[in-house]
Amino acid sequence: MKKSARITAALLAACMALLGAAFTFPDVRPGEWYTENIEAMASSGLLNGYEDGSFRPGGTITYAEFISVAARCVGADAPQSGSHWASGYMKRAYESGWYDYDEIYEADFDKPITRQMAVKIVDLAFDIPQNEQANNAYYKYMTSIKDFNDIPGRYGYLVVRAYNNGILTGDENGNFNPLSNLTRAEACAIIMRARGKGAAPFPQAAPTNTEPPKAAAISGGVSQNGKLSVSGVDLVNQNGEPIVLRGMSSHGIQWYGNFTSYNAIKNTADFGANLFRVAMYTGEGGYLSNPDSVKSAAYAAVDSAVSNDMYVILDWHILSDGDPMAHVSEAAEFFAEASKKYAGVPNVIFEICNEPNGNISWSGNVKPYAETIIPIIRQNSDAVILVGSPTWSQDIDKVADDPLSFLNIMYTCHFYAGTHGAWLRDRVDYARSKGAPIFISEWGTSAANGSGGVFLSDAAEWLDFLAQRNISWANWSLCDKGETSAALNPGTSPDGAWSDADLSESGKFVFSRLR
Ligand code: DCB
């Protein structure tokens, strides 16, 4: 592209940036490493937010999105040339030699772009200099990039060029991760840097910059109660005194991750919660489909709860994948990592399988699963572990008849007030009478499908029953979905302070019972 055209494009972008100065998204908080870059990109119309007003900085970015942003940045005109919305930009990119015919097929346009491909695009689109210095740098990066051998030859020199020009650095382990995806926030940073405007540090510097604010101690929080353990059927604090945790569960973070922001969790604590549950779906487009992005969203949510002085449940939310054994190796890998990451962090509770269901049994499926996963967690951590049971975590009677033999574990019982009544409360008492500790890691004021009702008098009966027994609970769910179990009305901002008008019928009831 001609230099004059590039200058014009830059000027245009700068003017648009001025016009759209106050460009903010509820999920892009001021002061994050990515905030400046995202706002610059959005206000110049290069990469927009979603219809619901969010930006989703942690979401992935597709080939078509990334390449059309790069093309727009360099002022490429792109007449529509095919059925895909980005076909004009893609054709232009291909013709400019930004990618080869065998690298991106049309069927891939809407898939998340790989890091190796993103680097190639920015190097070529922005004409990053391949100077003498970069040639000398090759040897340096060949040895310093830990996974350099995983980078296919056609990208190696491009990665070196990008590193050498400060467009990116490796992850905290020194890896480039050629086949991993890019978050939208990272894409903004890389592109802004490549176009010579990015002032913010690259995402991998994030750990020092994203340290969430330390919140004041909360009532019933971790600074008061410290490390938890299980004594008899009771959950107890560091002094061996019974403690009750009450709070909210997120909805699926792959859908409603914006309600696990620092502010959303803080709002929940302000309403009196000392517990937050991070529901990391495995199926339904969750962890099993996008392990890297879903996992980092889950960790970010855990970290936000920790900095709000709350206890936090990291939930392997099986649901459509009813048999926990179906993905036991993925679970093993995940809990090995998570228990290491949070070893010694007293806030964190591991829930190893949300709701087993389908044609499975406690002794044949869930118990062997627990016997596989719990020892893996125990290599790093003696945190409290929650274990589900068949029939959406209602078969606690079967569990009590055939318990696990580990310390500091509790069994989950899930109820929905419109569906599950006295018979399930009887099971809770039966299980406890046999010595099985019970934790209600999920319950709703609705019927079992998350909607219907709300059934507030049934819910009140349940909460009174639990209060009499010091049983802890997390309510489903903290989100604004149009279903009765959601605590917030549709359209509620995750980050603003919630007024009464923002709370759904369920939310008003549940929040009033948190303290
Ligand atoms: C549980 C799940 C949870 C589910 C709620 C309400 O499922 F752990 O993921 O949440 O209870 O059903 C719902 C959301 C919906 C979403 C749907 C699918 O509220 O917005 O569309 O998940 O992801 C239960 C609990 C109990 C029973 C059945 C289910 N039961 N279930 O007793 O029959 O089928 O999901």
Q: Are residues 243 and 299 in the same domain?
A: yes
Instruction: Indicate if 172 belongs to the active site.
Output: no
Distance 476 CA to ligand 1 centre (A): 9
Instruction: Indicate if 103 belongs to the active site.
Output: no
In degrees, rounded to 5, the angle at the alpha carbon of residue 219 between the alpha carbons of residues 312 and 306 is 30
- Is 476 near ligand 1, meaning CB less than 6 Å away? yes
Q: Are residues 191 and 251 in the same domain?
A: no
Is 230 part of any domain? no
CATH number at residue 279: 3.20.20.80
Which ligand 1 atom is nearest residue 449's CA?
A: 12
Residue 115 has pLDDT above 90, yes or no: yes
CA 74 from chain centre, in angstroms, equals 33
Q: Are residues 264 and 388 in the same domain?
A: yes
Distance 454 CA to ligand 1 centre (A): 15
Please write the tens of the pLDDT for every residue from 415-424: 999 999 999 9
C-alpha Rg value of the chain to the nearest Å:
25
What phi-psi label fits residue 127: left (phi over 0), alpha (psi between -120 and 50 degrees) or beta? left
- Is 379 near ligand 1, meaning CB less than 6 Å away? no
CB 178 within 8 A of CB 114: yes
pLDDT at 496: 86
CB 310 within 8 A of CB 274: yes
Q: Are residues 182 and 326 in the same domain?
A: no
Q: Are residues 189 and 259 in the same domain?
A: no
Q: Are residues 244 and 189 in the same domain?
A: no
CA 207 from chain centre, in angstroms, equals 16
Which ligand 1 atom is nearest residue 391's CA?
A: 32
Residue 15 has pLDDT above 50, yes or no: no
Q: Are residues 301 and 247 in the same domain?
A: yes
Nearest CA to ligand 1 atom 24: 448
- H helices within 197-327, ranges in order? 206-209, 222-225, 253-256, 262-270, 291-307
d(CA 120, CA 152): 12
Is 147 part of any domain? yes
Is 495 part of any domain? no
Which ligand 1 atom is nearest residue 419's CA?
A: 32
d(CA 22, CA 43): 8
Which residue matches tokens 């310093």?
A: 144
Of the listed 337, 442, 461, 505, which one is catalytic?
A: 442
Is 101 part of any domain? yes
Q: What average pLDDT does range 424-436 have in this prediction?
A: 98
Q: 409 in helix, strand or coil?
A: strand
Compute φ and ψ for 396, nearest 5 degrees: -70, -20
Is 291 part of any domain? yes
- Is 381 near ligand 1, meaning CB less than 6 Å away? no
- Is 424 near ligand 1, meaning CB less than 6 Å away? no
Q: Are residues 244 and 178 in the same domain?
A: no
Q: Are residues 154 and 284 in the same domain?
A: no
- Is 450 near ligand 1, meaning CB less than 6 Å away? yes
CB 383 within 8 A of CB 349: yes
Q: Are residues 187 and 294 in the same domain?
A: no
pLDDT at 132: 61
Q: What are the residues whose beta carbons fall under 8 Å from the beta carbon of 189, sequence distance 6 or more?
A: 33, 34, 37, 198, 200, 202, 203
Please write the tens of the pLDDT for every residue from 194-205: 886 443 222 222
Output the six-digit token pair for 299.
């960790």
Is 501 part of any domain? no
Distance 455 CA to ligand 1 centre (A): 16
- Give the predicted TM-score (pTM) of the model: 0.65
Q: What average pLDDT does range 151-160 have in this prediction?
A: 88
Residues forming a β-bridge with 349: 313
% pLDDT > 70, the chain: 90
Q: Can you give the residue range of the structural domain that contains 96?
A: 3-195
Between helix 63-73 and helix 184-194 the angle, nearest 10°, is 30
d(CA 386, CA 400): 14
Q: What average pLDDT does range 47-76 have in this prediction?
A: 88
Number of compact structural domains in the chain? 2
Q: Are residues 22 and 103 in the same domain?
A: yes
d(CA 259, CA 261): 6
User: Residue by residue, what is the 3-state secondary structure of 237-254?
Assistant: CCCCCECCCEEEEECCHH
CA 184 from chain centre, in angstroms, equals 14
Output the six-digit token pair for 433.
């009478």
Q: Are residues 163 and 26 in the same domain?
A: yes
d(CA 487, CA 429): 28
